[in-house]
Structure 1
Amino acid sequence: MSNIGVLIVGSGPAGVAAAESFRKAGGTSAVTIVTTDSSRPCFRPPLSKDFLRGDVSASEIELHTAQWFSDLGIELIRDDTVVSIDIHAQRATTHGGRSIFYAQLILASGADPKPLAVPGGHKALPLRSLHDAEVLRDAASGADTAVVVGAGFIGCEAAASLAHRGIATTLVTPDQVPQQKRLGFSAGERITDFLSEAGVQYVGGVKVSAVHGDSVRLDNGVSITTDVVLAATGVAPRTELVARTGISMAAERIAVDEHMRTSIANVYAAGDVALAINRIAGRRVLVEHWQDAITQGTIAGANAAGESSSWCEVPGFWTTIGDRTLKYAAWGDGYGRARLVEKEAGFSVWYETNGITVGILTLDADDDYAEGQNRIRSGAALPW
């Protein structure tokens, strides 16, 4: 049994940022992170890009060294899982038999990849953790062909990286173009072009019906022979544990205010498991992006140390598909109209609802990206 100040569940970007922020805000009590991962926390964005291509090693993408954790007085418990939380006793119990009392609890357990729910779908590899990426990279090292299922940004990035390795890669998705619902058809067409430039064959408008030992069967009757199958089919937040505690939930996530506080006074949540109120938007905004998880974790950690920080940034992310880097910022809950504007070296897509700017997507148009963020933040109209 141990007695600590702050217990953080999860070692992803939100959890590590929370620990660091707690210290920077002057928190002096003990800090413990409990994580299911066996490795030290890593920078996850390269897993589908540089790491998968073989350009960087595992040690090069570690977030921090063991000495960093030691210097900040942060205990990192790996290969263990919190299996129960007693909110009233302020105690967590782990699978490994630890009983940990806490003064402040920060829930940042992240998300798990959604499995490919078809016969044989368990044969498809996931891509979320460093271990997943190592398994995928090892499989790719002896592969001639690969199929990626799903055209989200992880799927597109990984498909381009596999093709970069000289693997004949096919991306399969029900979407006619990638990210059509989120970004619109015109932007999706451009992403399809990026994939083609990277050597990826895009097969849209179909679903996978089964995965066999050496092939993927589509619902149109076509079978694609493949050595490797990657399921990039989204993620599900790890909230099963929390749902049994009485902490308020919203849309299958932990409901938090703009300060990352849950319905329990000394409990915070951040990252993929949280559905937080954004102070500028004035409503709960769903995010599943690396930088937003860092931002929310930073707020949670600072507030656990006694500050009163709030979430007021416009959510967004960058994605690199082959040699093309897209930058996106938006409230993320839809738009009324999208307009693509050609630029000298790239393009911008402006998103509006009732004349108000709600999103911006750019390729090599940083001025538009900065202006778009400002217009989203202020609730301004489009710039024409």
Structure 2
Amino acid sequence: MTTAGLIIIGSGPAGISAVESYRRHGGAGPVLVCSADPDLPYERPPLSKDFLRGDTDDVALHPPEWFVEHDVDLRHGRPATAVDVDAHTVTVDGQPIPYESLVLACGAAPSGLPVPGGERALSLRSLADAHRLREAASGATSAVVVGAGFIGCEAAASLAMRGLAVTLVAPDAVPQEKRLGAEAGRRLRDLVTSTGVRYVGNAKVTSITDAGVVLDDGVTVDCDVVLAATGVTPHAELASAAGLDVEDGRIVVGADMRTSAADVYAAGDVSFAFNTAVGRHIAVEHWQDAMDHGEIAGAQAAGARDTWHAVPGFWSTIGEATVKYHAWGDGFDASRVVDHDDGFTVWYETDGVAVGVLTCNADDDYDLGEGLIASRRPAPPRRRRTN
């Protein structure tokens, strides 16, 4: 049986980035990518924005011929069922396939609504999910989105821009109040509601019925479509079964993406990776970070040396507004909002050192913030107003 130079479990950004990096760094062995997802690898960020609004159908990461040109055996819709780290094999279609290096880029699955009728709610994670949601929206006049994380805000705005009457329901008074603070949350709420969305905060869903979404105050919100944007759960089952170190549902890796087993790496949402800049392990669920992880894992598998040191960050588009965020993701003890003519910046500090920055139409602050966070310097001082 032919030994694969590299096997990758997962066809998301981490997995495909690992393929690209492996080839770019001289990895010449056969590459096998296996994935439970039946679709060709695609970009996920447009699914809650351009794709949901019907503005594009082009979300492919690469055309089919790219995989042929780079000698990649892409087995989509054919998931791995077992990993044997001692035998250096991955089982696909009942067949154990030997590998030299393995990258676990298994991603995560949507966390459903644990309430009666929760199975009625749609999810938005995969391209198939996005097709179902877009089709449901095309014949609907109203929708409820549960959860005001960035995906929830993006999807709610996109549905409203399609002409639906949209209600966004969340447990916080304003979106992401616990994560970003009340002042930032108010600005995010304003971005969402400016697209026509109705925001209902301090509310929890108790059930979903034929009549609509029932809230904990007894009110039923009538709707044709329900979307649960309530977070994700990493796919760490294969790693746990293989005996790899797993913590809080994620695979523990070093800054080089190496797991506790020889020649096995993990990248993306499923990993709990060490970041050399901050000096500790961090869990991230952002597209760019998944790509960074995959690039490092692929380089390592090809014999190159690379480590993770970037400050986690991502972009979000809510309606017509672009919001960007850099942060270590473990809280702050002070925040300061700076309003601009067409946007805002929120600086976050802990012990007088910048640990995060949230911007809307303030790219210079976003770029500046990345450097300040990485070098552990304070946020810019408040500017004095002159008369």
- Check if 1:336 corresponds to 2:333: yes
* 1:321 alignment partner, one of 310, 318, 329: 318
Amino acid at match of 2:62: H
Tell me which residue corresponds to 1:235: 232
Give aligned-pair identity as a percent: 53
Deviations 1:216-270 (A, max 9, x none): 1111100011100000000000001211111111222000000000011200000
Return the alpha-carbon distance in structure 2 between the equivalents of residues 74 and 55 of structure 1: 31
Tell me which residue corresponds to 1:265: 262
Residues 195, 103 of structure 1: alpha-carbon distance in 2 compared, 3 angstrom cutoff = same
User: Conserved in 1, the CA contact under 8 Å of 2:324 and 2:360?
Assistant: yes
User: Conserved in 2, the CA contact under 8 Å of 1:210 and 1:216?
Assistant: yes
Unaligned runs of 5+ in 1: none
Tell me which residue corresponds to 1:35: 35
User: Conserved in 1, the CA contact under 8 Å of 2:236 and 2:251?
Assistant: yes
Tell me which residue corresponds to 2:161: 164
Tell me which residue corresponds to 1:66: 64
* 1:81 alignment partner, one of 59, 79, 82: 79
Tell me which residue corresponds to 2:89: 91
- Pairing of 1:116-131 with structure 2 (within 5 A): 116-131=113-128
Tell me which residue corresponds to 1:196: 193
Return the alpha-carbon distance in structure 2 between the equivalents of residues 214 and 86 of structure 1: 49
Three-state SS of the structure 2 residue aligned to 1:61 is coil
Return the alpha-carbon distance in structure 1 between the equivalents of residues 367 and 127 of structure 2: 32
Deviations 1:53-83 (A, max 9, x none): 00001xx110001110010111100111111
Tell me which residue corresponds to 2:379: 382
Return the alpha-carbon distance in structure 1 between the equivalents of residues 54 and 30 of structure 2: 38
Unaligned runs of 5+ in 2: 382-387
Return the alpha-carbon distance in structure 2 between the equivalents of residues 249 and 343 of structure 1: 44
Return the alpha-carbon distance in structure 2 between the equivalents of residues 17 and 213 of structure 1: 43
User: Conserved in 2, the CA contact under 8 Å of 1:4 and 1:103?
Assistant: yes
Return the alpha-carbon distance in structure 1 between the equivalents of residues 218 and 113 of structure 2: 18
Amino acid at match of 2:24: K
Three-state SS of the structure 1 residue aligned to 2:137 is helix
Amino acid at match of 1:117: P
Amino acid at match of 2:338: V
Mean Cα displacement is larger for which, 365-374 or 141-150? Answer: 365-374
Return the alpha-carbon distance in structure 1 between the equivalents of residues 77 and 263 of structure 2: 26
User: Conserved in 2, the CA contact under 8 Å of 1:2 and 1:99?
Assistant: no
Return the alpha-carbon distance in structure 1 between the equivalents of residues 276 and 49 of structure 2: 33
User: Conserved in 2, the CA contact under 8 Å of 1:214 and 1:227?
Assistant: no
Aligned residues: 381
Amino acid at match of 1:35: S
Deviations 1:98-131 (A, max 9, x none): 3211110100010000011100100100000000
Task: With the length of structure 2 as denominator, give the TM-score of the two structures.
Answer: 0.97
Return the alpha-carbon distance in structure 1 between the equivalents of residues 236 and 307 of structure 2: 23
Amino acid at match of 1:301: G
Three-state SS of the structure 1 residue aligned to 2:377 is coil
Deviations 1:335-367 (A, max 9, x none): 111110122322110000000000001111122
Amino acid at match of 2:125: R
* 2:214 alignment partner, one of 217, 226, 232: 217
Amino acid at match of 1:81: P
User: Conserved in 1, the CA contact under 8 Å of 2:236 and 2:249?
Assistant: yes
Three-state SS of the structure 1 residue aligned to 2:348 is strand
